[in-house]
Amino acid sequence: MLLAIDFALIIEKLVLIIIVVMASLVIAMYATYGERKIAAVLQDRRGPNRAGPFGILQPLADGLKLFFKEDIIPDFSSKFLFILGPSLAMLTAIMTSAIVPWGDKVHLFGRDISLQIADINVGILYVFAVVSMGVYGIMIGSWASNNKFSLMGGLRAASQIISYELAMGITIIALLMVTGTLSLKEMVLQQQAGYWNIVYQPLGFLLFLICAFAECNRAPFDLSEAESELIGGYHTEYSSMKLGFYLFSEYINMFISSVIMATLFFGGYDIPFVNEADYNQNLMAGLGVLALMAKVVCFIFLFMWVRWTIPRFRYDQLMNLGWRILIPISLFNMLVTGAIILLKQNNWHF
Amino acid sequence: MQALTNRVKQVDRRKMNFLEKLYLVAIFKGMLITFSHIFKKKPTINYPEKTRPFSPVFRGLHILNRDEEGRENCTACGLCAVACPAEAITMEAAERQTGEENLYREEKYAAKYEINMLRCIFCGLCEEACPKDAIYLSETFAPADYQRKQFIYKKEELLIPHPLEAPDAYKKALGNRVKRENIN
C-alpha cells in the first residue's frame, strides 16, 4: 500500500507533543514562582510563602486570579488584532519546542521512540524563523492597543530584536562551521561523542547568551516593557488572561531559549563523563532528560540572576551594544573560527 | 575640599577602555554581590505566626480585669472616663443585687462599659487613673473590622476571661505586660 499510515507513530508523536506542551507550560508557571523567589532571596526578602508550603501554589493562585479578572478590550483598539497579539505570542513561544531533542531514544512497546517531536534537517533555522515570529505578537498587540506607550514598546521590541538577531545569526554561523550540521539532534550526538561546543565557541556562547537575553525581552533588555518609562510597554492595555498570555510567553521563551542554549553549547541531553551506550537504554534516556532539565534550570537561574542584578539599558546604549559591539565581535568570532577550520583542513597542527 | 566623613569615594571620570565598555567585568562583579545576598539573614519576620517581642510597657487594647475569684473589679467610678483625653470611654453604673456577690467585687458595678477604639489614643491614662486595678492595657493590638461601629468595644469584648473557668485564656490575656507604676 502506498499510503500506509503508521498510526502508532501518530499516537506516539501526539503523546509527545502533549507532554512537551504541558511540560513547558508547567515549567513556565513555576518559572514565575522561581522568579519571585529568586528576586526575593537576592534582595534579602522571603518571597511568596503563603499559598501552600513554601508558597508553591502561588502560580496556580496567580493564574486563577488572571482568569477571573475582567477582560477589557479598549474601544479604540482594533479588536481582531488585539486578540491576535497575545495568541501569536503564546503560539510562537510554544512552537519552538517542536524540534528540541529532549532525550535519546526510548524503547517502549517494541518501538524505538525518539524523544524529539520532529528532527528536521534545518533545525536551528526553524528556531530562528519561529523566534523572530514572536516579535509579531508584541508588535501586533502594541499596534492594536491604539496607545502611544504600547506603540513605543512595540517599536522598541521590533528594532531591538532585529538588531540582536543579526549578531545572533552570525554567532550561529560560526557554530555551524564547527558542527557542520543544522540539525539539533545531530549536534547533540556530536557533542556526546566529542567535547561540548562551548569548548570550541566560548566567545560565541557569550554572544549568543547576550542576544538570547535580548530576544526574550528580559532585563537588562526589557525596553519594550520598561514599566518605569512606558507604564507596561506593549501590554499596557491588556488585562485578564490576555495579559497572562503575554507574561507567560515571556517565561516560555526563557525556558525554550535555555533549552536551545543547553542543546547548542552544553551537549543537550548529554550527561558529562558518562558513556550512555554502556548502560540500559531507557534509563539513560530518562537520565538524559533530567540532565537537560538540570542545565535548563541553571540557565533559567542565570536569566533571573541577571535580571535582578543589572539595571535596564538606555535605548541608545542598547543600540550601541547591539550594532557597534556585538556585531563586530561576532564577525570577528566567525572569521577566527573560519580561519582555524581552514588551517586545520590544510593539516596545520596546534 | 575636606571630607566630612571617612566614607567619601572619589568619582572616577576617566574614559572607559574597551574592556570596561563591554561592561562584562562590572556585570560579573555586580552578580557576585547579588549572589552573596542569597546567604544573608533575612530581616523579615513571618508576622502572623511569629511576632516581635513587645516592650514591657507596650500599650495595646484595653482589658477589664477580674480578681482571683473571677469577680469584676470595676466599680463604675468614672475616673477613667474623666482621665481619658480622647473621651473614648463611657459607662453606666448599677447597684449589685443580693446573689450577685460572685459576679461583682463591690456594691456598685459597671452595667455598661464602652471604649471607642477609634477614638482611643492608647495613652494609658485610664489605667493610671483606676483606683481598683480594673482597667489596664494589654499586649493585643491591630484590631480589624469591616464596620466602624464594631470598633466600639462593649463589656463582652473588654472583659478578661474568667480565671477559674478558663485559666489558660485568662493567663494569655494578662500577658507579660508590666504596669507602669511597678517599673519605677
Judged by a CB distance cut-off of 8 A, whether residue B42 touches chain A is: yes
Which residue is closest to A38 within chain B, CA to CA?
B38
Q: Quick check: A309 and B27 CB within 8 A?
A: yes
pLDDT of residue A266: 86
- C-beta atoms of B46 and A46 within 8 A: yes
Q: In this model, does residue A203 exceed pLDDT 60?
A: yes
Most A CBs within 10 Å, among B20, B25, B31, to test the A interface: B31
Determine the distance in angstroms separating the CA of B16 from the nearest CA of chain A, rounded to an integer.
14
Query: In chain B, whose CA is at the least distance from the CA of A307?
Result: B31
Instruction: Enumerate long-range contacts of B30-35, CB under 8 Å, 24 or more apart.
Output: B30/A309, B30/A310, B31/A305, B31/A306, B31/A309, B31/A310, B33/A309, B34/A42, B34/A305, B34/A308, B34/A309, B35/A42, B35/A305
Amino acid B140: pLDDT: 78
Strand order in the sheet with B89-95: B89-95, B108-116, B152-153
Per-residue pLDDT, B63: 87
Question: Does B22 contact A at CB distance below 8 Å?
Answer: yes
Are residues A44 and B40, on separate chains, in Cβ contact within 8 Å? yes
pLDDT at A286 over 50: yes
Predicted pLDDT of residue A63: 85
Find chain B residues with C-beta within 8 A of A325's C-beta. 21-22
Q: What are phi and psi of B83, to 5 degrees?
A: -70, -25
Using the predicted structure, report yes or no on whether residue B131 has a pLDDT greater than 60: yes
Residue numbers of A between 308 and 327 with CB closer than 8 Å to B: 308-310, 325
pLDDT confidence tier of residue A199, bands split at 50, 70 and 90 = confident
B contacts of A317 (beta carbons < 8 Å): none
What tens digit of pLDDT does each residue of A102-120 get? 877 777 777 777 777 777 8
List own/partner pairs for A282-288 with CB under 8 A and 24 or more apart.
A282/A106, A282/A107, A282/A108, A284/A104, A285/A103, A285/A104, A285/A105, A285/A106, A285/A115, A286/A103, A286/A106, A288/A103, A288/A104
User: If pLDDT is split at 50, 70 and 90, which confidence band does B177 have?
Assistant: low
Q: What span, in angstroms and rounded, lies between the C-alpha atoms of A275 and A267? A: 13
Q: What pLDDT is attached to residue A1?
A: 54
Least confident of A283-287, B107-111, B118-122: A283-287
Confidence of residue A349 (pLDDT cuts 50, 70, 90): low
For residue A214, count other CB atoms closer than 10 A to its CB.
26
pLDDT at A44: 87
CA dist., res. A264 & res. A96, Å (int):
14
pLDDT confidence of residue A269: 81
Residue A215, all three cell numbers: 530576544
Given B21, B24, B31, which is nearest A309 (Cβ)? B31
Q: Which of B34, B43, B44 faces A305 most closely, judged by CB atoms?
A: B34
Q: Which pLDDT score is estimated for A231? A: 77
What tens digit of pLDDT does each residue of B139-148 get?
A: 777 678 898 8
The residue of chain B nearest to residue A302, with distances taken between CA atoms, is B31
Say whether residue B33 is in contact with chain A using an 8 A CB cutoff: yes
Give the pLDDT band of residue A2 (cuts 50, 70, 90).
Answer: low
Record: contact A42-B34, CB cut-off 8 A? yes
A325 and B42 in contact by Cβ < 8 A?
A: no
Residue A90 grid cell = 503564546
B22: closest chain A residue by CA: A325
Give the pLDDT score at B44.
Answer: 85
Contact list, A45 vs chain B (CB under 8 Å): 42, 44
How much of chain A, in percent, has pLDDT values that exceed 70? 97
**Cross-chain residue pair B38–A306, CB shorter than 8 Å:** no
User: For residue A264, what are the contacts with CB-CB under 8 A and spacing of at least 6?
Assistant: A124, A172, A175, A184, A187, A197, A208
The complex's ipTM works out to: 0.71
**Least trusted range by pLDDT, from A5-9, A54-58, A212-216, B125-129:** A5-9
Task: Round the average pLDDT of chain B to a whole number and report it.
Answer: 83
pLDDT the model gives residue B85: 92
How far is it, in rounded angstroms, from Cα A320 to Cα A71? Answer: 39
CA distance linking residue A171 with residue A173, whole number of Å: 5
Q: Identify which of B160, B117, B163, B106 has the alpha carbon closest to the alpha carbon of residue B135.
A: B160
- B184 pLDDT band (50/70/90 cuts)? very low
pLDDT at A102: 81
The pLDDT of residue A194 is 79
Name beta bridge partners: B94: B109
Mean pLDDT of B147-169: 84
Find out whether A114 and A17 touch, Cβ atoms under 8 Å: no
Q: Is the pLDDT of residue A19 over 60?
A: yes
CB atoms within 10 A of CB A276: 18
Give the up-direction half-sphere exposure of residue B117: CA atoms within 13 A in the CB hemisphere. 23
DSSP state of B66: B
Mean of the per-residue pLDDT values of chain A: 84
- For residue B27, the chain A residue with the least C-alpha distance is A310
How far is residue A253's CA from residue A257's CA, in Å, rounded to a whole number? 6
Q: What is the least distance, in Å, from the CA of B28 to any CA of chain A?
A: 9
- C-beta atoms of A46 and B42 within 8 A: yes
Backbone angles phi, psi at A107, to 5 degrees: -100, 105
Q: Which of A256, A249, A295 is nearest to A29 (CA)?
A: A249
- Between residues A7 and A336, the one the model is more confident about: A336
CA dist A218 and A310 (Å) reads: 11
Q: Reply yes or no on whether the pLDDT at A295 is more than 50.
A: yes
Q: How far is A261 from chain B (nearest CA, A)?
A: 19
**Burial of B175 from C-beta contacts in 10 A (0-12 / 13-18 / 19+):** middle
Asked whether the predicted pLDDT for residue B154 surpasses 80, the reply is: yes
Chain A contact set for B34 (CB, 8 A): 42, 305, 308-309
Model confidence pLDDT, tens digit, residues B24-37: 888 888 889 888 88
Contact between A42 and B30 (Cβ < 8 Å): no
Identify the band that residue B82 occupies on the pLDDT scale cut at 50, 70 and 90: very high
Tell me the pLDDT tens digit for each residue of A25-39: 888 888 888 888 888
Record the cell numbers describing residue B69, joined without a space: 475569684
* Closest to A94 in 3D by CA, of A129, A132, A134: A134
Q: What confidence score (pLDDT) does residue B5 get?
A: 84
A·B CB contacts under 8 A: 36
Q: Do A310 and B35 touch (CB under 8 A)?
A: no
Q: Residue A163: what pLDDT?
A: 84
Query: What percent of chain B has pLDDT above 90?
Result: 4
How does pLDDT run across A304-337, given as a tens digit for each residue? 888 888 888 888 888 888 888 888 888 999 999 8
